[in-house]
Structure formats: C-alpha cells, structure tokens
Chains A and B, each alone.
Chain A
Amino acid sequence: MIELSPLAIAAITLSLQVASVAMIASLPVAIATAWILSRSRWPGLWLLNALVHLPLILPPVVTGYLLLLGFGRNGPVGRLLEPLGITFAFQWTGAALAAAVMGFPLMVRAIRLAIEAVDPKLEEAAATLGAGPVNVFCTITLPLIAPGILAGAIMGFAKAMGEFGATITFVSNIPGRTQTLPSAIYSALQIPGAEQQVVVLCAISVTLAIGAVFLSEWLTRRIARRIGGAL
C-alpha cells in the first residue's frame, strides 16, 4: 500500500470540500434557472440559456480569467464583497466559485430535463384542487423531479471534483490552500520520480468520476419509471 503524502491528503480533502460547497450553493440557483428555462416564456430566454451554457463552451482558462477580472480583489464584484469579509482570489472559496460556475450548465441541464418530463397537466390539476403556484411546485413538481435534481447535483459534484483550468487560473495552485486533486496531479507530474503518486491520485479521481456517473444514470432511470406511471 502506498503512503499518501500529507499534501496529497490535503488536496483530496480540499477537493471534497470545494465540490460539496459548490454543489450545495449552486443547487437552488440551478433549480430556479432550470424552471425558468423550461416553464416560463419571455423574449430574453435564449440569452439566459446561452449564458448558462457559456462555461461549457469557453476554454476553462478564459472562464478562470473572467472570474479573476470580476471577483478578484480589484474586480467590481470582488471589491463589493471584500468589506463583508468575503474574498475569492487565491482562497478555497474561489476554487468553490470556479467549480460551481463550471458545473452549473450540467446541473441545469439535468434538472431541466426532469422538469420538462413533468406533465403540466398534473400541475393544472393540482391548481384546480386548491394548490397555489408555490404549493404546486413543492408538492407536485419537486417530488417528481427529485431524482433529476439528485442526478444534476451528482454531475455538478463530479465536475467540481475534476475542475482544473478555471480553478488554477483563478486561485492558482497553492499547496494546502487552493491545491485541489487535479492541481495536485498536475504538480506531481512536474516532479521527477513522483509517478506512483500520480497513478494513485489518478485512480482516486477516476473512481470518484465513474461512481458519480453510475449513480446519476441509476437515478435518471428511476425518474422515467416514476413519471411513466402518470396518466
């Protein structure tokens, strides 16, 4: 059994922390965005759709640089938040922000597919039975899309675990502070004779990713079964 170096353990712990925070913080926003994209009708919808998908298309280094411009110490948002004690640049919180932004399109897509699978006729029926819009969402829509939300959350988490380009651009690669699992693999690759370390870290990374994809697949299949019993 290979001993993991303290820095490698720190990287794994940090990655789990960053991915969890990124996933939990962006989930409500992702649900709201998915709902707006699938159920509302207004002229600017395509723009929101494009914006949501942007991190998927842009080179991650560009996304990271844009985050640095916006949320860095001198960026417009960063300057607003600094007096409140919230800083992103070269902090683990910045890594979480980068991971959240990069995973956001995947989350929205999974949740949106789930919402679109819910028959609006069921929501209408609930309304005629006395449920207001919020009530309908909580008692009909939300339970029916729960597997989709879980699937989206897992995809978002997996993406966050693997995020590299935007993270290293935005918060750099400071061991013990902003060095995530992929950054640690990258650093280990630079050191001659650290191949074993690289292989172990890669194995951990692959296991987490494959596990997430399987879990997400299984949950997505449950959604179909659940809504299939509808009318």
Chain B
Amino acid sequence: MIDIRLHHPLSGFDLDVSLQAGPGITALYGPSGSGKTTLVNAVAGLLRPRAGRISAGSDLLFDAATGVDQPPHRRNIGYVFQEPRLFPHLNVRANLNYGAKRAHKAAAGPAFDDVVDMLGIAPLLARPTGALSGGERARVSIGRALLSKPRLLLMDEPLAALDPARRAEILPFLERLRDAGLPVIYVSHALPEVTRLADTIALIDTGKLVAAGPAHHILSDPTLAQRLGGAQAGAVLRVTHGGVDDDGLTRLHLGGQSLFLPQSSPDMGHDLRIRIQASDVILSRNRPEGLSALNILTATVTQVQPGDAGRVFVQLTLPQGQILLARITARSAAILQLRSGTPCHAIVKAVAMDRADLSRS
C-alpha cells in the first residue's frame, strides 16, 4: 500500500493531496495543470514537496517532518514518462536491461522474456531506438520500467502523445499489467482510457482531491459526472459474455437482462466491463413498444443531479444493484417526473456501444 500525503505550492494554487494506492490501477484523473504530474514526480523522488509524507508499506520514502528523503534511485519505483525517454546511445535490448541490471536481486518481478513477449517487442531488440515508431517506443519504455522490478509503477499519460490506432495497440498490454496485480498510479485526462483501465479513480482538480474510490462508484456518481467529462460521462457495467447470435450480434448478460453489441466480439473471458455513455441512454416511464432499439433495461431512479446546458444526470439502479447513468434534458426529467424511487426503462442504442467500450474487467 502506497500512502501519499503532500503539500506543495504550484503557480496559482497549492497541491494538497492525501491518497492511498493499492494493487491494481489507480487513475489520477483531472484537467491538465491540476497537479497530477507534480504528485507523481514527488512520489518518484524527482521533486521535493514542501511538506508531507510518502511511504510504501513500512518503507518511509519521504517525510518533511523528520527530513527523510530517499533519492529516486533508492525508491524502487518505476516511472513511465509521457515521452518514452529512451537512451539514444543504447539499442532496445540495452535500454530494457538498464533497469533490469540495477534491480534488487531479491525483488519479485517479471522475467525479461515474459515482458518482451507481453509487449510484443522481440523483433525490435537489436534495433537502435531512433528506428522505432511512436507506439514501439512507448512499449519499450513500459518494458524498461517493468524490468526494474518496481514495487509501484507510475505512468504519466503514457498514451497521450499517440494517435488512436497506437493507443488501441497498447491498451491491451496495460490491461495485462493490471491483471498482474502490480500497484500502478496512472495519470490521465482521457476518460475512455481511465474507464477501461482503472480499478480506483482519484479525481483531482486545482491541486485538491475531489473524490476517490472504486472506479464503478466514481463513474456512476451523478454529482461527479459533470467533472468526469460532462457529455462524455458514463457508467461502467460488469457483464458476462453470452455468445454471438446468428445475426452477428454479441449478447452480454447482466443479471437477468441482456445487452446486445452491434458486432460480433470474441469471448474475452467471463468478467467484462462495458462503458455506457450517459448521453446515449434514453429514459421511458412505460416499457417502450414498437421501438427499433434492442437494449432496454428495467431500472429505478436513485438520484437526479443537475448538469450543464440544461441537462440533468439521472442515476439508475438496475435490479441486481449495478448503476447506470443517463444524461437527459431537465425538461424531459420534469415531464417524466423523475425522482428517487421512480421505476423506469433505460433504452441504450446498440450502435452507441462498440467493442472499444468493452474490455476485460
């Protein structure tokens, strides 16, 4: 368990955060310039905060009160920077080995071949770093950090500089990383990425921690939806793969109800998560008849929260307890007389969900 408590003045505001990160991916989400990078730099030891205390388990890394400040090379914390920062005078193999050679002999961590296989960089090993594409560089830099056998991995928007295709190429590797159980602090201001990867979300704005908790809680909280992207906000449902129907639609089970994906998607395992954007959900008091939409879920309104542009966020609880978020106009909410406890039907256009929103849980 990584325990972070720090205070540091930034231009215009103070960074003042108290945060814990356990196994799995903890996403630090917030607008650019809100202090996220400063926070991870302090954890890595690249920046000395004005006040605070940072510890990893029983190991004290920094304590302003007692003057403890372990230098970065003794902290055993991996860091994947926004730019790959590969060493230009070393080839890919030597870059990967740089951290591996300096790792603690006793430390647990993945083997060289496993990391190379996982990241698909075996064909690149003998190449100079100048000959790599952006996506390849990003993967090598992730591999280099992993091979130093860190007890915690910091990732500062490792995908921000990449185009969507490269990003899609790397996301599955990050999911495997999460499955491996290494604590990861993942800085991002891209909601789809955070939704797909995070186990825990810490929401940061102008240096303050706004909210922190399990990803599905934070993402389905209508009071946070405005901060979590507004029109892009959306809750995550945990579903199981129910096979591909004859007409090519993928069936997803969700308690006693079903959702259909518009294209066939291979079974990626039992527990899947699907992100449903709040603006793609339509609400109806009565069970709709004669409607082309296939995905109709029965739910109960649990909260109605005003958003911007005359919209409200409606939180709905499904019979088996999962939470869905809808973004509708305030006028519709008034006409439908939606309030906590109102039973209703949520219609999700199938086309609104695609495979990118479906990921392993």
Contact = CB atoms under 8 A, between A and B. Distances in A.
B99 interface: yes
A139 B81 CA distance: 20
A228 B89 CA distance: 10
B76 interface: yes
Contacts of B102: 129-131, 135
B103 interface: yes
Contacts of B81: 121, 125
A129 B101 CA distance: 9
A129 B145 contact: yes
A190 interface: no
B85 A227 contact: no
B148 A129 contact: yes
A82 interface: no
Contact of B73 (A121, A128, A231): A128
Most chain A beta carbons < 10 A, residue from B45, B46, B73, B81:
B73
B134 to A, nearest CB: 10
Nearest to B90: A143
24 contacts: A121-B81, A121-B85, A124-B85, A125-B79, A125-B87, A128-B44, A128-B45, A128-B46, A128-B73, A128-B78, A129-B78, A129-B98, A129-B102, A129-B144, A129-B145, A129-B148, A130-B148, A131-B73, A131-B98, A140-B87, A144-B88, A231-B83, A231-B84, A231-B86
A76 B45 CA distance: 46
Interface residues of A, number: 25
Q: What 7 A-B pairs have minimum CB-CB distances, sorted nearest first?
A: A229-B130, A130-B102, A129-B99, A125-B85, A127-B72, A128-B79, A230-B88
A136 B72 CA distance: 12
Nearest to B132: A229
Contacts of A131: 73, 98, 102
Contacts of A39: none
A136 B45 CA distance: 15
Interface of B: 44-46, 71-73, 75-79, 81, 83-89, 98-99, 102-103, 128-130, 144-145, 148
B83 A121 contact: yes
A135 B144 CA distance: 17
B99 A229 contact: no
Contacts of B73: 127-132, 135-136
Contacts of B45: 127-128
Contacts of A122: 85, 87-88
Given A124-B46, A131-B102, A227 B88 contact: yes
B83 A128 contact: no
B71 to A, nearest CB: 7
Given A121-B85, A226-B89, A132 B78 contact: no
Contacts of B76: 130
A125 B45 CA distance: 11
Given A121-B85, A143-B89, A231-B83, A128 B71 contact: no
Most chain A beta carbons < 10 A, residue from B72, B76, B103, B145:
B72
Most chain B beta carbons < 10 A, residue from A125, A135, A143:
A125
A226 B46 CA distance: 26
Contact of A229 (B75, B77, B88, B98): B88
Nearest to B131: A229
A66 interface: no
A73 B286 CA distance: 108
B53 to A, nearest CB: 20
Contacts of B84: 231
A226 B87 CA distance: 10
B129 A229 contact: yes
